[in-house]
Structure 1
Amino acid sequence: MSAQSMPEVNAEFGALPQIVFGEDQAPQGLRTVELVEGDGPVVRRGDTVTVNYHGVVWGSGKAFDSSFERHQPASFGIGVGQVIKGWDQSVPGHNVGSRLVVSIPPEYGYGSRGVPQAGIGGGDTLVFVIDIISTR
């Protein structure tokens, strides 16, 4: 998978993500790039995964949600509809210790409604940097 049209992100597991957008438009569809390949267990659908994440609207420098900034990782079931579809489809299959950059179009995110109170418009593509801390 090429990183073409994906933003540049520091490939350092555990570090606050720095996301730099180029001139490109958001890619079509759901895109996942593994910046760091972990050597821990593989995340499987139905697991409870613990992650640090940093989410921005494509082209924005400001996070709408970041467990990194809260210094509080998040845990939830993955692949079972507890989170947006883009997460359910991109996190399983990667190892604990991995850092992912995921570009999530609206149909895999918050849809045509968006989340106005978070500054997410209905047509916005989201970018998440996800560090997979553990899975069980």
Structure 2
Amino acid sequence: MEPFDTKDKQVETTASGLKVIRINKVDKNAIKAENGDNVEVHYTGYFEDGKIFDSSVRRGEPIQFTLGRGQVIKGWEEGLSMLSAGEKARLIIPYQLAYGENGRPPAIPAKANLIFDVELISVHKPVVPVAFDTKGKDTIKTASGLKYIIVQKADKKAMKAENGKTVKVHYTGYFEDGKMFDSSVQRGTPFEFKLGAGMVIKGWDEGVALMHVGEKIRFLIPYQLAYGENGYPGAIPPKSNLIFDVELIEVK
């Protein structure tokens, strides 16, 4: 794994002190990254002495995050927002835009200026989820108190979800007042988990096990099958009954 070749490349310096060296040119129609976009990035991070401290390239797994949400260091937020999909660049980031005066022990020393070779693999504009239309659909209630409404039926030969299988779903979660609190649709990345292994709330383990691939169902989950009496601090209030629109994409 070789560092990017920056010889004879122009250095752009922003008002914040970030330096950006573009390595390649991309098509003029390539999607430019903006705050709110879901981006996929390969990167290798170096100290100023050239020593690598982290690399998604070595792991073989790009990082995905939403730009402009404070999920990465400031130098990344600013630098990636200057790039378009397919573009490679070197970001030379002063410590004030990285991990600051204290660093991030033990990996990043105090006041460490950092260098990142980044490749912006893809840019996905945020999708606004549309709530399922349940008008005229029957509501079914299980013994546990879970309610569900089949919005789109699957093909009769479609594979059924079963405990022990890994399932891939798209979902949007709502409070009873209709306010959305989470959505894989908005992120543009389906959610995978092992069914029946307690990796999700009880209402999900029970509900998704009723589904076939291609099916869309609205689940009305009482708080006892969701996050219980205490809720999930910072996100889900105590005793919250929740609504999930779920599409089962794959079973494996």
Normalising by structure 2, what TM-score?
A: 0.43
**Divergent runs of 4+, >6 A:** none
* Mapped contact 2:168–2:193 kept (Cα < 8 A): yes
Amino acid at match of 1:78: L
Deviation at 1:74, TM superposition (A): 0.6
Q: Which runs of 5+ in 1 are unaligned?
A: 1-14, 22-26
Deviation at 1:29, TM superposition (A): 2.2
User: Which of 174, 183, 195 is the equivalent residue of 1:78?
Assistant: 195
Deviations 1:44-90 (A, max 9, x none): 11110000000011123x32110000011010011221100000111
- Structure 1 stretch 68-77 or stretch 32-41: which is displaced more? 32-41
CA distance in 2, matches of 1:29, 1:116: 24
CA distance in 1, matches of 2:202, 2:210: 15
Kindly name which structure, 1 or 2, has the bigger radius of gyration based on alpha carbons.
2
CA distance in 1, matches of 2:130, 2:175: 14
CA distance in 1, matches of 2:212, 2:130: 19
* 1:1-136 equivalence runs, <5 A: 16-18=129-131, 29-39=145-155, 40-60=158-178, 62-118=179-235, 120-136=236-252
* Mapped contact 2:133–2:151 kept (Cα < 8 A): no
CA distance in 2, matches of 1:55, 1:19: 11
CA distance in 1, matches of 2:237, 2:133: 20
* Mapped contact 2:196–2:205 kept (Cα < 8 A): yes
The percent of aligned pairs where both chains have the same amino acid is: 34
Q: Return closer, same or farther for 1:106/1:88 CA change in 2, 3 Å cut-off.
A: same
Deviation at 1:112, TM superposition (A): 0.6
Q: Which runs of 5+ in 2 are unaligned?
A: 1-127, 135-140
Deviation at 1:100, TM superposition (A): 0.7
CA distance in 2, matches of 1:55, 1:133: 17
Deviation at 1:124, TM superposition (A): 1.3
CA RMSD after TM alignment: 2.3
Q: Return closer, same or farther for 1:69/1:101 CA change in 2, 3 Å cut-off.
A: same
Structure 2 equivalent of residue 11 of structure 1: none
Q: Return closer, same or farther for 1:79/1:20 CA change in 2, 3 Å cut-off.
A: same
* Mapped contact 1:17–1:129 kept (Cα < 8 A): no
Equivalent residue pairs, number: 116
Larger RCO (CA under 8 A, 6+ residues apart): 1
Normalising by structure 1, what TM-score?
A: 0.77
